[in-house]
Structures are given as structure tokens and as C-alpha cells.
């Protein structure tokens, strides 16, 4: 008899899911009232929403974004770790984060998890390796993934992984995160927040003019459909709007991953060869999305409080930026910290690299190297 997705969870992981489930149930009436108001304002029947949620529970995937070239605290690249260990590790283990670098006991990420999961991961006997792995719920299938801010490449997980995940509209670092978090079976708190955002008329999930009716109809029509080659589709650029996923339990490459989608800047490079080896070893397809390239002279001087143009010049001179070039220089922060004297603190530079990558997501152009590339094993 095959194990279910809950059989492999440790007690504190099961308790974390139970806490979120209980909290979401307690907020159901409030969330439902918000959902009904949003649907009424948009002229959408509640039955359409229920149909869309049924499709999400059956077909929506959790996606894990990552930068494959970045060095972990073990001095190996993320891609090497995936290939050699066959496990996607949490930021508490790798020391890497595409958000704030606070995944350590007593750090902000630690405190957010304590609040979000009711202290389930803070009881005696828990291990940092048992902490959740962070991704996003793929409600709209953008070729660059549901939250490219967190990495140039991504793993699409099998549908059953969603049933041992929790979901927050926006980031779990937000003060109201617990009020906007649920499980796949009790998703109302997250969906209420998403529908409110869509109802403001300013777009969401990387779609500028997204309406509630359009969103629900897209879920119903597109999510059950086949995976589409991402190389020739328009970039989603969903930088600030996403449904965060927290996956509880181990994520193994052999059992939990459905496919790998990578940035074409790694084609023909050692990192690209490792990505091919990952797909070959663990038996899933590798695809290449359109990628992000940007001329240095198009990079703004500042972005969200950080000077990014000087960093772009350091990376590519007067040339073209891409994910591989940014990652190569970002690794120099670890390899040769002395060369960054005068650039600010280590954490400031990490943030500067993140902001530059966000600029790439917003303004970068597709790479001509991506078109037509796909590896299937």
C-alpha cells in the first residue's frame, strides 16, 4: 500500500499543518464574507468561485524558485546540492535566501515561523532540517514562474505536495500573514486577500488588468490543461503579487518534482550541465523559459532604496546583464569579501543584488537563446 502525503510527516510538521488548518477554520466566516462581497462587486456567482477552488485543489502546483549558481553555507552551489543530495533544503540549512537572510534561531524568519505555525517548530527535539521550504502556488502559469523574484529557475512539484503545504497571500513576513494563511482544503483566508487585491483593479499575479471573473475563468480553463512550452511565451514578471507556499516535510527530487524550468543564461555553462544532469538523474523534463537580459545603461540608478546601477556596471561594464552574470559576481561576496570594501555591509550588498535581480524581472528582455530549447529524459 502506498504511503499518503501525511504519512511521511514528523509530529511537529503535522502540528504546524493542524495549527494553520484550525486557524483558517476559525476565520472562515470572516473570509467567506469578504469573498462574497468581492464576487458580488464583480458580478460573479459563488458557484464559479467554488468550481475554481475545486480545480486549484486538484491541479494547481507548488513551485520552488531558486538561483542554481549561488553558493550555500556548505560552499557548494544550489544546483550541485540538488544533484548530489537529491533533496531541496530549507534556507535554515543552506544559509541562502532570496528574501531577508534571517533564517537562524532568533532571526526574523524564525520568529515569523513561530507565529505562523503556532510554535510547532520550536518545541524540543525539532531540527532545522525539518523547517518548511518556501515557494509559491502556481495559480497562473507564467513561463518565468509565479514568483521569479525568488530565483531565475524553478521546480514544479507534483500535485500531492500541495496537500502538505500551507499558503499565504503575500509574504509570511507580513504582520497580517496569519490572517491570510490556509491549507489547500481551507484556502479561504488566502483567497479572500487575493480577491480583495484583484478587486482593486490594479492587477495581481503579474497580470496588469486582471479582473476577478477573468482570474476564476482562467483557473477553471487553464489549470487542468497540459504543460505548455515556456520558451516562447510572454514573461509574467510577477514580482510583488503571489501566494506564498510553505511546504512541510522533505522535498525529494526523485518523488516530489514534476519538472525543472531554467533560465537560458545557463545554457552551455557548467551550471547548465548540472541542471541537465539533475533532470536526467531524477527522471523529469528540463525546460528553458525566455530568460531575462538587460543592457546596463537601462538599469535605473536606484531601485527601492538601493543604488543598483553601480553594481550593474561592476558586473557587466557597458554590456548586457543576465542571471548567470549576476550570480557569478554575487558569489564573490562569499569567495572574496575583501574586494567589496567600500560597498557597505555584507547584508547591504546581498540586498543590493536582490534589488538588481528584481530590476531584471521587471525590465529585462527575453533571451534569444531560449527559443526552441527543451530537454526531455
What are the extents of the domains in the chain?
A: 11-288, 293-363
Q: Of 3-17, 150-164, 283-297, which gets the smallest average pLDDT?
A: 3-17
Beta bridge pairs of residue 246: 134, 166
- Averaged pLDDT score across all residues of the chain: 92
**Per residue in 312-336, pLDDT tens?**
999 999 999 999 999 999 999 888 9
| pLDDT for the residue 100 | 59
Residue 271: pLDDT band (50, 70, 90) is: very high
Q: What is the pLDDT of residues 140-171, one digit of tens each?
A: 999 999 999 999 999 999 999 999 999 999 98
Smallest CA-to-CA distance from 244 within 22, 62, 108 is with 62
| This model's pTM is above 0.75 | yes
- Mean pLDDT, to the nearest integer, of 342-352? 92
Output the pLDDT for position 98: 56
Query: What mean pLDDT comes out for the span 41-50?
Result: 98
Give the count of alpha carbons within 13 A of 279, CB side only: 21
Q: Which helix (H) or strand (E) holds 64?
A: strand 61-66
| Out of 75-84, 252-261, 299-308, 364-373, least confident range | 364-373
Q: Would you state the pLDDT for residue 90?
A: 87
Greatest CA separation for the chain: 61
Phi-psi region of 145 (alpha: psi -120 to 50; beta: other; left: phi over 0): left
Mean pLDDT of 57-82: 92
- For residue 2, pLDDT over 50 is answered with no
Contacts with 352 (C-beta within 8 Å, 6 or more apart), sequence order: 306, 307, 308, 311, 343, 344
Over 90: is that where the pLDDT of 91 sits?
no
- Residue 8 pLDDT greater than 90, yes or no: no
Q: How far apart are the C-alpha atoms of 334 and 294, rounded to whole Å? A: 25
Q: What is the pLDDT at residue 107?
A: 84
Amino acid at each position: 500500500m502506498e504511503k499518503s502525503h501525511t504519512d511521511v510527516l514528523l509530529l511537529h510538521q503535522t502540528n504546524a499543518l493542524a495549527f494553520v488548518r484550525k486557524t483558517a477554520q476559525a476565520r472562515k466566516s470572516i473570509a467567506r464574507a469578504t469573498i462574497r462581497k468581492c464576487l458580488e462587486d464583480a458580478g460573479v456567482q459563488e458557484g464559479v468561485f467554488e468550481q475554481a477552488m475545486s480545480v486549484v485543489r486538484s491541479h494547481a502546483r507548488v513551485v520552488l524558485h531558486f538561483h542554481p549558481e549561488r553558493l550555500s553555507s556548505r560552499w557548494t552551489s544550489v544546483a550541485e546540492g540538488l544533484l548530489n543530495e537529491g533533496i531541496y533544503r530549507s534556507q535554515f540549512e543552506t544559509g541562502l535566501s532570496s528574501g531577508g537572510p534571517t533564517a537562524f534561531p532568533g532571526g526574523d524568519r524564525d520568529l515569523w515561523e513561530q507565529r505562523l505555525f503556532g510554535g510547532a517548530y520550536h518545541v524540543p527535539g525539532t531540527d532545522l532540517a525539518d523547517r518548511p521550504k518556501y515557494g509559491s502556488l502556481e495559480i497562473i502559469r507564467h513561463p518565468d514562474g509565479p514568483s521569479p523574484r525568488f530565483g531565475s529557475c524553478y521546480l514544479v512539484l507534483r500535485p500531492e505536495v500541495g496537500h502538505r503545504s500551507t499558503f499565504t497571500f503575500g509574504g509570511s513576513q507580513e504582520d497580517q500573514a496569519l490572517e491570510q494563511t490556509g491549507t489547500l482544503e481551507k484556502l479561504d483566508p488566502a483567497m479572500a486577500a487575493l480577491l480583495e487585491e484583484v478587486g482593486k483593479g490594479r492587477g495581481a499575479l503579474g497580470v496588469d488588468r486582471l479582473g476577478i471573473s477573468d482570474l476564476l475563468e482562467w483557473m477553471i480553463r487553464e489549470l487542468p490543461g497540459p504543460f505548455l512550452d515556456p520558451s516562447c511565451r510572454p514573461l509574467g514578471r510577477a514580482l510583488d503579487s503571489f501566494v506564498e507556499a510553505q511546504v512541510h516535510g522533505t522535498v525529494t527530487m526523485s518523488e516530489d518534482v514534476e519538472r525543472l524550468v531554467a533560465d537560458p543564461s545557463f545554457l552551455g555553462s557548467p551550471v547548465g550541465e548540472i541542471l541537465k544532469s539533475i533532470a536526467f538523474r531524477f527522471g523529469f523534463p528540463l525546460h528553458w523559459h525566455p530568460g531575462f537580459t538587460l543592457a546596463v545603461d537601462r538599469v535605473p540608478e536606484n531601485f527601492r532604496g538601493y543604488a543598483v546601477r553601480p553594481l550593474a556596471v561592476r558586473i557587466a561594464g557597458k554590456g548586457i546583464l543576465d542571471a548567470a552574470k549576476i550570480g557569478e559576481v554575487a558569489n564573490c561576496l562569499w569567495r572574496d569579501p575583501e574586494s567589496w570594501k567600500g560597498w557597505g555591509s555584507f547584508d547591504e550588498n546581498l540586498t543590493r543584488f536582490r534589488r538588481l535581480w528584481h530590476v531584471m524581472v521587471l525590465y529585462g528582455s527575453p533571451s534569444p537563446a531560449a527559443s526552441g530549447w527543451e530537454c526531455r529524459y
